[in-house]
Structure formats: C-alpha cells, structure tokens
A and B are shown apart, each in its own frame.
Chain A
C-alpha cells in the first residue's frame, strides 16, 4: 500500500465520541489513508469539509446537533464529489435508510472489524456502495414500500397519509432484487458473482444502481416538495 502523498485518499472522521474518533483516525492512518481532519458535530464537519475537501467522510449517524441524513445532504450539496460512509453503533433502521436515501454511499456498524472498516473506506473512495446485509434488507423494504404507496396499497407504514406525491416510484429490476436478497443473506460480491456467473464488478454495479435510483427519487421528491411548499 505505497501510495504517493498525492493520490492518498483523504478522510474526514466525524464522531462525537472522542475515543472512537481517535481510534478510527489512528486505524485509518495506519492503513495508509490521510486523515484530513476530525469533527465532533455536524456543523463542525461541514466547516472542516469545506476547508479540507476530503475524498471520504466517515460520518457517525448519531451526532448531537443534526441527524445523519441532514448532515449527509448538506455535505453533498457543498461538495458534490465527496463520498459519505455512515457508521452507527445502534443501527436505527429508519435513520440508516434516511441517510442513504439522502446520498450516503454506504453504511457500516461500528462493531465491524478493523479490516472491514478499512476495506469499506477504500471501496467508498473508489465510488462503490458499501452494503451490510442489514442495509440490503432496508433498501429492499424501501422499494417495496414505495411501490405499495404508488399503487395506493399504502400499508400501515406509510403514515402521514401523504399520497404518492409526483415522481413515479423507482423499481428494482429482477436481477437487482435477486442481488440485494443475496447481499441481505450475507453473501459477498464474489460469492454472488459466482452464483450468477457474472463478474464481481457487475454485481457491484447492480448494487450501486439500487442506491442511485433511491437517491435520485429522493432528490426529485425534495425538489417537488420544495416547489409545492413555495420554497425558492
């Protein structure tokens, strides 16, 4: 892992727990990343990110000042090329889902092994989506929910009663569904590739697509929401 200082991946570590923040920063430095800075709150993260322009932001989902989803959205507004990898200790499902639909490119539990964390940051920097089985289950469920509220079969979950506003619900292709289900059942990309006799790269692309479609839909909904409520 001998990168020249120039193409070293720079990472901003955002976490309100100093022990974890320092440990993550040390781990990443040891693994050959350049830690662009550390922040203990969402507001601080936005300031430091604007100044240091990191490649990857390692973002704790439960910050004291703003929800992870909001910080993610604002980071991406300010720095469209930044990639956000979410980390959380408790894995609150709705929070995780909100963060990835707001644009985070992956999610990891804090209990992940050091090796997994390093791999995940590397994959995120390369533009790949980092999925845990839990996140795959959430994304599958979210597509299902969107499809149901679009056909008016709104289940108990779609409370708020807001009718399907505007943008048609995104749909998964059969292949994407198949792959997400494999991810949720704990298979790695190479294992999935082997089962489907495709390349791991193809699997990665499909997974990436499932996230992009959700994020695009979310963005369209946000624009629509802003127009409807008269926000300029």
Chain B
C-alpha cells in the first residue's frame, strides 16, 4: 500500500475511509494540507511589543500624575507624557506593518526613549533623582530595547540596552554605582533574552515552513510517481506475459521484465518503516515487504500491524532468515509465500515453500552437531522476544515456518 500516504493517520497513509463508504474519485487521497494559523509568528511578537508599550505607558502616566507636584517643572512632566503617548501611537501603528519595522524608526525609538530618560534631569529635582526616584518614562523605555531585539536579534537588543543605559548614566550622573550596574544587567538581559527568543521562534517557524513545503512536494511527487509506476508496471507485466507466451529469446526478456516488475511493485507498495511517533511501535509489514520478489509472495492485512521495535525487528529478522532458506535450500523452482496476520493476541507470520522439504528430525540433528543456522537465526530470535517458532517439513512437500510474537 504504497500510497503512503495514504493510511496512515500516520503520515503516509490517508485516513481510512469509514466502512462501506465508497469514495468519489480522489476523495480518499487528498494530501493533508498544512493548516497553521495565518498570522506569522513575527507579527505576533511585534504585537507583544505593542502591548508592552501601551501597558508601560499607563504605568508611567500613573507615576507622573502621582509625583508631578514634586517636580521642578511639572509642565515638563506632562509634555514628556504627551511625547510618550504620541510616540506610542506612531510606533504601534508603524510596527504593525512589516514595512514600518525599519532600522531608522527603531533607531529613533531608542533615541526617543534615551532622550526622555535624560529629560528627567530637567523635569525632576536633583534631590529626588539622587535618592532613587524613577526616570520619567520608567519601564516604558524598555519597549525600545524589545523593538531592537525583535527586529535584530540578541546583539541588537543588547546594543539598544547599552544606549538606553547610557541615557540613565547621564540622567543620574552616576556611572559605576551598584544600582546602575544592576540596571545595566537587567536591560542587557531584556534585550539579549528577548532577541534570543525571537531568533529561536523564527528558526522554529522557518523549520515548520520548510517541513510543510517538503511534505507538499513529497505528496506531489508521490502522486506523479503513482501514475508513472502504474504505467511502467503495466508495460513490464505485458512484456513478461507475452514474452513467456512467445518463448525463446522473448521468454528471457519476459523473465527480466517480470523480475523488474516485481521489484518495482514491492518498492512502490512499501509502507512507512518509521516508528510511530507516539507509541514507538513499528509496522511489521514495512519490514517484511522488501522480501517480496518473483519467487516470494507477501500477503498482509490492509491495515498496519504494529509491534514494539525490538519485537518487530526480531520477527522480521527471523522471517528474512526463513525466506533466505527458501531461496537457498528449497530448490531452483521453489516458490515461497509469507502471510502476516494480526490474530488478536499477537502477530503471526507464516512462511511456506513448495520446495524439497526435509525429513523430520534433521533440524535437531543439525543443532546437536553444532550447526546452529536455522535454530539460532529463526528460533533463537523469536524466543528472545517471548515468541514461539515452529518449523514443519516433509520430504517433497515443502517447509512451513510459523512465527508468533505476542503483542504487549
């Protein structure tokens, strides 16, 4: 079931149709479109900066209204508040569009924040400033740093932090005081961490986009490939059957075509070998299918046959060994059949051939003389994962190996 796709609820196969519902052409095979939200993450980050700016504007307004009576120039305080309000409107509007997020506006953003910080020196009294009164914009100034971080990543964010901090230095006329160092560290963290998160987010978004693009491309390639494979298979099947009919050299060509037909068919009908992301289980069919060729037929259910990875590996390993035995020991013209079943308690794989067979007791004899081939590669593997293996054969009536591994 190659249309991987198809089925799988697991990526690869389409969702199984409800029982009995006959699909209209193509309905069952739509590739799942990537339905992520339309707003790119960058825009959401800018929105977050806008929210921060508006909330901190209100915060600064509360401080100014509470303290204006202590200011040296209360009017200056209101003027600064007006500038902050206007600048908030300008930047929120500008940053909402990608074209507005240019470096000049962001530089101006940092400059406005810095100048407003410095203006505290003129608006407020030296006494209050020296005793730790907040600057006029308070934490509104950090919105410029966040804008740098979102626009340019961690280094831009930290550069903005340093500029704003110098504004603080000029305003307080202190340089290496403990509070100044602490302030610098906080601003650097805001700019640096903010920028880092932005970079991670953008990386993740790009990865998701890339994955979606690849998924779409793969689905399209598979769709085209199915059509081509079908045509090629038709022609190969035709050449092989007509060739055998005509005989002679044409029969040889027919044999070649038959081999290729079988190889291509097993290639295109292969299920996903990837373990299920949630359960870590593997579809046993995917491990056994590659064994199919002109001489060996694989029969499976249409739905996945899941086993934990170790059990699936053991089972497919034992199956491979049994099929190898068919190819090597059952005789030139012998054919093999592999049946994969899910019997409710576990997974059963039967391998039968119509070859020469062997007398009862030969396997135990081989094992006791130290030739461990069959018992080790088949029985040992299966016992290791708690399963059972039986091998029955009669001369002239082929060999049958039955493997059973319980499901957890």
Contacts and interface: CB of A to CB of B under 8 A. Distances in A.
Contacts of A160: 15-18
B342 A141 contact: yes
Interface of A: 17, 19-20, 23, 62, 65-67, 69-70, 73, 89-94, 96-98, 101-102, 109-114, 117, 132-134, 136-138, 140-142, 144-148, 155-160, 162, 165, 181, 184-187, 217-222, 224-225
A93 B304 contact: no
Contacts of B234: 17, 19-20, 89, 110
B67 interface: no
A110 B233 contact: yes
B20 A225 contact: yes
Given A110-B233, A162-B18, 8 more contacts: A19-B234, A90-B269, A94-B1, A111-B258, A181-B350, A185-B400, A186-B297, A221-B20
Given A19-B234, A69-B22, A70-B23, A184 B265 contact: no
B19 A19 contact: no
Given A137-B339, A141-B341, A144-B344, A89 B233 contact: yes
A133 B297 contact: yes
Contacts of B19: 146, 162, 165, 218, 221
Given A159-B16, A160-B18, A225-B18, A90 B230 contact: yes
B143 interface: no
B306 A111 contact: no
B269 A93 contact: yes
19 contacts: A62-B230, A66-B25, A70-B24, A90-B265, A91-B269, A93-B269, A93-B302, A98-B22, A111-B241, A113-B241, A132-B297, A133-B297, A137-B339, A138-B299, A140-B339, A145-B303, A160-B16, A181-B341, A218-B19
Contacts of B342: 141, 144, 155
Interface in B3-18: 3, 6-10, 15-18
Nearest to B227: A62
A141 B300 contact: yes
A53 B359 CA distance: 55
A220 to B, nearest CB: 8
Nearest to B27: A67
B261 interface: yes
Nearest to B306: A156
B353 to A, nearest CB: 8
A136 B297 CA distance: 12
B354 to A, nearest CB: 7
B250 interface: no
A141 B303 contact: yes
Contact of A157 (B16, B230, B350, B400): B16
B297 A111 contact: no
A80 B23 CA distance: 21
A97 to B, nearest CB: 5
Most buried by A among B230, B235, B268: B230
A151 to B, nearest CB: 9
Nearest to A223: B20
Interface in B230-253: 230-231, 233-238, 240-242, 244-245
A144 B345 CA distance: 11
A65 B241 contact: no
Interface in B30-54: none
B28 interface: yes
A19 B265 CA distance: 19
A151 B302 CA distance: 19
Given A92-B2, A185-B350, A159 B244 contact: no
A144 B341 contact: yes
A221 B19 CA distance: 7
B300 A218 contact: no
A20 to B, nearest CB: 5
Contacts of A69: 22-23
Contacts of A141: 300-303, 341-342
A225 to B, nearest CB: 6
Contact of A94 (B7, B245, B262): B7
A204 B265 CA distance: 29
A136 B298 CA distance: 11
B117 to A, nearest CB: 59
Contacts of A70: 22-25
B404 interface: no
B178 interface: no
The 3 lowest CB-CB distance pairs between A and B, nearest first, are: A141-B301, A137-B299, A157-B303
Most buried by A among B23, B229, B337, B340: B337
B335 A186 contact: yes
B302 A97 contact: yes
Contacts of A133: 297, 299, 337, 339
B306 to A, nearest CB: 6
A137 B265 contact: no
A80 B15 CA distance: 31
A67 B15 contact: no
B297 A134 contact: yes
Contacts of A96: 302
A90 B22 contact: no
